[in-house]
Each structure stands twice: as structure tokens, then as C-alpha cells.
Amino acid sequence: MTLLHPSARLPVRRFGAPLLSPSSRAPSAPSFSLIRSSLPFPPEKARFHRELEAAVDVVERACRLCVDVKKSLLSSDGRILEKNDRTPVTVADFGVQALISLELKSLFPSIPLVAEEDSGFLRSNSVHAQRGEVHGANFLVDSVLSAVAEKTSSVDEPLTSDDVLEAIDRGGKDAVSFDAEPSAYWVLDPIDGTRGFLKGSDALYVVGLALVVKGEIAIGVMGCPNWKEYNLSTKKSDDKIGVSTPGIIMIAHSGCGTWTRRFSDVMGNYKRIQDGWRRCFVDSCWLVNEASFCIPDSQTWDLIPLSVLFSSSVDCGDIRDKQKVLLLPTCCGSLCKYLMVASGRASVFILRARAQTVIKVWDHAVGVVCVHEAGGKVTDWNGSPLDLAADQVDRRIIFPSGGVLVTNGALHKQLLEIISSNSSIA
């Protein structure tokens, strides 16, 4: 019997069972063994097979929503919003959270959701619009409703604006208070890399969803609608060669590995891709000077302790000595960097935790399980695992000491030693 069967009506805090212990990975396994299935492993080998199937389906539909909204965004400035912290937010951001919240509540009503957004901005602007103080605010709510209605599964009655706003708030702050050891909850980042979403077709962004069970990340799904092979190149745009990949979906299940498959070549139709699932692993680099690095878009290399020993370059042709490392030009948000490491396209993602910066759980949870199951490692700068329970009541914030270090595993100990030896810069 599947633990999280959709028909289950158990109270949230009575839910749960120990996770399967991670299985060892055979080093001789092929990097891209091909399997044709809804998931790349059978239900009897994956305790949360049904939950992962549902997560893959809803994340893929959420990516379709993003693509459709982005097309309309190009000719409609009214689709661009800004939150109080000046981070751009789109109809897609609210729409993805509403869609995933609605679908998960329908399938797994006993499991709460922790997500980035709440409807406060939309509700307040709607009130102002009714008073004639803000032009077009009702249009924004209607736009979210329209985007969600087109992608949601069948419902008994047509969706209303209230349905969508309530769905958004189901994952918002104060929506649920957790016990010291909550049984299970979903963690959602509706769009990680919102600035990238707004930049254009070449900029990466990710829809990320994870399920946490008994304090462990059990499954994860990341959808990157515009993943392209040449995004990973350090060459100039006029040197890019090859056919771009029209997006990928990455999944991970505790003990079952990390896998990817491509979206359809025709994004609008999203036909079931025929290539199937491919197992992916982190890269095998074990020398720091030969590793490829990712850092946050808001940080510079000189803020990273490794800068004491190594300079950096974004040009692979400029890496000529053992004191310079390659810095990959990725895009906004943290999850695409996790995706890079888990897929073997980058060796390291390193983030410095600043005193004024709040690190949110949804920026890391799904990435952690994907990297772990691909053979990598994720810790804080002291070498401790990220503590998802540090925010005991809301489960929304993590407090990694020094910062976050994501590696292929082989480099982890070396990098921790360098960080420790040069901690004065941190």
C-alpha cells in the first residue's frame, strides 16, 4: 500500500513512516541508461512512487503555464509585478503556486504545503482596484485565475478567484504550524530565478517541488522549461554550436537515484517525449583547479574564501594555471545551480550566507535530494547537513553556518578545508 495514497484522510501529524535507506550506487552503472516508463523505477522499489508521479505531472503542467504566460508577457507589461522587496514576480509565479497547491490538496489533502508566495499582494491590490485607487489590479487576479484554470485537472465546479487565492495562501506564511517532528510536508518554489524568467528565452528558471518526510527529503522534482545545452557553454554566443534542448525535468527519489528527461520539442503541445528517462550523476572531478564553479548571481568571487588561493574566469580558454578556476555563467536563482551540479555540468555551487540575507528552504530542498541521489554532497561551511527543522514552527528558513556548499562529493572535503583555513573572509 502506498504510504501517501490520495484517498488517505489521516491527520497530518499521524502520517509517516521511516524512509527507505539509500541504496548504494554501483560505480560501473552507465551514466545515461535509458528506460521508457512514467517513472524510471517500479513502485515496489520506491516507497513514494505515487507521490513522485503526481509531482512530476503537476510540475510539468506548471512549466507549461510558465511558458504560456511568458509568451503573453512579451507583449503585456501588466503581467509584471513587484513584491515589497523589489523582486519581480509574475502571474506565472502566483499561478504556479495556485496550480500545484490545488492539485496536491486534491490528491493528498492531509499533507501541508510550504511555499514562497501568499496572496497578500493580489488581495490588497484588488481592494484598491474596487475603490478605484489602482487601475488593472482585478485584471491581475483574473489573469492568474485564467492561467490556472487552463492547466488544472477536472474539478466539480469552475474555479473562482477565491479558490485560486485560497490555494496560494495554503502554502503561505502562517498557513500551518508544525510539531517538533512533523510527519510530512511539501516544499515548493513556484519559480526560482524570477529575474531569469523575465530576461528572455536564454535565461534559466526552475519550478521546484520536494516532499519532506520525517525530516528527510524523500522526493524532488525540478522543471526547467528553457534548459539549453549552449547555456552551459563559456563561449561567446556566435560560437555556440548544436541544437538546444527544449527544457528538462529532473527527479530524485531517496534510494532510487536522480533522473532526467527532456520536454517535448514542441513546448506548446508537450507531447510525451520518446527518449525516456536517463540516470544522471555528478561529475568526477577531484582537483579544485580543474573544477567548474557556480556562485550566486548577487555575489562575486572575492567574497568566497577560495578566492584567497584561486582567481576565477568565465572564459574556459583563460584557465591556464593551477591558481585559476572556471566560473560558469549560469542564471538567476539557486535551483538551476543545483541542477547543474546534479547533472554533472558543474562541479561546485558555493553560496555565502550574509548576515542580512534570509535563506529560504524552498531555494534548496529539492536541489539537495537531486544532488545527493546523483552522488554529490550538500552541507553548510562547517560540513553539517542543512537543517530543515531550524525554523521549528514554520519550516520556511534555514540557517547554514557560513553558507552552503554543494559539490560532486569528491571535492567536498578539500573545499571545506580551504574554507576553514580562510574563514576570516567569510
- 2 flagged as catalytic: no
In order, the DSSP letters of 76-99 are -GGGEEE-TT--EEEHHHHHHHHH
418 annotated as belonging to a binding site for a ligand: no
Residue of 90, 194, 260, 407 marked active site: 194
Q: Are residues 368 and 417 in contact, defined by beta-carbon separation less than 8 angstroms?
A: no
Residue 236: burial class (beta carbons within 10 Å; 0-12, 13-18, 19+): exposed
Is 192 annotated as belonging to a binding site?
yes
Annotated catalytic residue 357: no
- The verdict on whether residue 163 carries a ligand-binding annotation is no
Q: All 3 cell numbers of residue 133?
A: 485607487
| N-term to C-term CA, the chain | 48
Quote the crossing angle between the two packed helices 120-130 and 161-169, to the nearest 10°: 150
CA gap 325, 354 in Å, rounded: 23
Per the annotation, does 189 bind a ligand? yes
Spatial distance between the Cα atoms of 219 and 240, rounded to a whole number of angstroms = 35
* DSSP assignment string, 177-235: ---SS-SEEEEEEEEE-HHHHHH-TTS--EEEEEEEETTEEEEEEEEETT--GGGG--S
Contact status, residue 255 vs residue 369, Cβ threshold 8 Å: no
Contact 69, 91 (CB under 8 A): yes
**Is 162 known to sit in a ligand binding site?**
no
CA–CA separation, 186 and 211 (whole Å): 5
Q: How many residues does the chain have?
A: 426
Residues contacting residue 15 through CB under 8 Å, at least 6 positions apart:
3, 4, 8, 110, 111, 183, 184
Binding residue numbers for Mg(2+): 116, 189, 191-192, 363
**What amino acid positions are annotated as catalytic residues?**
93, 194
Binding residues: 116, 189, 191-192, 363
